[in-house]
């Protein structure tokens, strides 16, 4: 009888060990397949010149989902009620979601930024009240570098929930300058000088044509609009150089650039004059 009892316990332990070994094997094989699939998809996306952040996100999602499926299959092979387990996970996820509402909002916005791709790493953007070059697009926040080399970390929901201005989205940009000249100056001559300054800079594109025109008769000046097109990477360098060259050319040709001013005229009436005398 003791021998039969021992044999039964041995059989139970053996069956349990085999089941546990099979569950562990299923999990690790599934995990290996998940890693392999994520690697293959990542290489495929990289070969198609897909954005690095998007490739990393897709690979990580595949790895996590397939690993979780492998875990469920392994638990099911042990006789664990996975339906109840999923119910528990769902309830825990709901409670965690309520507690981490802002964090999950940032995560959701990060996912949308990665999928929609309104900008990529290296672009110069204006978003959430800041401007800079994008250095990293994370799942919860994004990192930018300003022109004076400051690092700014912005929550993703503030970026995705507002207006995004991407100055690097197009290969070309238009420079918009307003140049004022005096009312007594020669307007055709001033226009000719502006066109000469544009033609002298080889970085300014021939197409589309630059626009130079009188736009406004302002309080203190006649205002020209000067709108040449340049490569996006040359925008600031050309803008600063062109502004300087226009000022120098106007000085050489006696074209004034008046600053805002008001003229006050005093009129003396006859009654005031007699009183003064």
Residue 161 sits in a domain whose CATH number is 2.30.30.60
Tokens matching residue 56: 């990393």
**What are 147-156's pLDDT values in tens digits?**
899 999 999 9
As for how many domains the chain has, the answer is 3
The model's pTM is 0.63
Query: Do 139 and 184 share a domain, yes or no?
Result: no
- Identify the domain containing residue 229 by its residue range: 172-252
Per-chain mean pLDDT for the chain:
85
For the residues 120-125, what does the mean pLDDT come to?
Answer: 92
| 88 located within any domain | no
> Which candidate, 168, 137, 132, places its Cα nearest to that of 149?
132
Phi, psi of 260 (to 5 degrees): -55, 130
For residue 52, the domain's CATH number is: 1.10.287.1260
Residue 1: its pLDDT value, please? 47
Confidence band, pLDDT 50/70/90 cuts, at residue 87: confident
**Gap between the Cα atoms of 36 and 23, Å rounded:** 20
Query: Do 184 and 230 share a domain, yes or no?
Result: yes
| 267 located within any domain | no
């Amino acid at each position: 009888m003791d021998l039969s009892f021992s044999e039964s316990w041995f059989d139970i332990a053996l069956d349990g060990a085999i089941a546990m070994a099979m569950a562990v094997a299923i999990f690790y094989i599934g995990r290996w397949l998940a890693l392999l699939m994520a690697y293959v998809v990542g290489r495929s996306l990289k070969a198609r010149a897909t954005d690095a952040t998007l490739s990393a996100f897709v690979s990580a999602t595949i790895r996590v989902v397939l690993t979780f499926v492998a875990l469920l299959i392994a638990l099911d092979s042990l006789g664990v009620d996975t339906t109840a387990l999923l119910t528990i996970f769902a309830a825990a996820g709901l409670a965690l979601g309520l507690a981490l509402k802002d964090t999950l909002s940032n995560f959701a916005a990060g996912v949308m930024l990665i999928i929609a791709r309104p900008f990529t790493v290296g672009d110069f953007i204006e978003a959430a009240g800041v401007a800079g070059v994008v250095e990293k697009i994370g799942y919860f926040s994004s990192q930018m570098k300003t022109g004076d080399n400051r690092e700014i970390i912005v929550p993703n929901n503030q970026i995705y929930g507002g207006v995004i201005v991407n100055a690097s989205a197009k290969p070309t940009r238009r420079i918009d300058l307003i140049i004022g000249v005096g009312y007594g100056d020669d307007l055709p001559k001033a226009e000719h000088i502006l066109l000469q300054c544009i033609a002298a800079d080889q970085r300014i594109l021939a197409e589309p044509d630059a626009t130079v025109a009188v736009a406004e008769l302002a309080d203190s000046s006649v205002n020209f609009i000067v709108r040449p097109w340049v490569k996006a990477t040359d925008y600031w360098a050309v803008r600063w150089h062109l502004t300087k060259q226009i000022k120098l050319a106007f000085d050489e040709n006696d074209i004034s650039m008046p600053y805002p001013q008001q003229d006050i005229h005093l009129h003396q009436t006859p009654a005031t004059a007699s009183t003064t005398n």
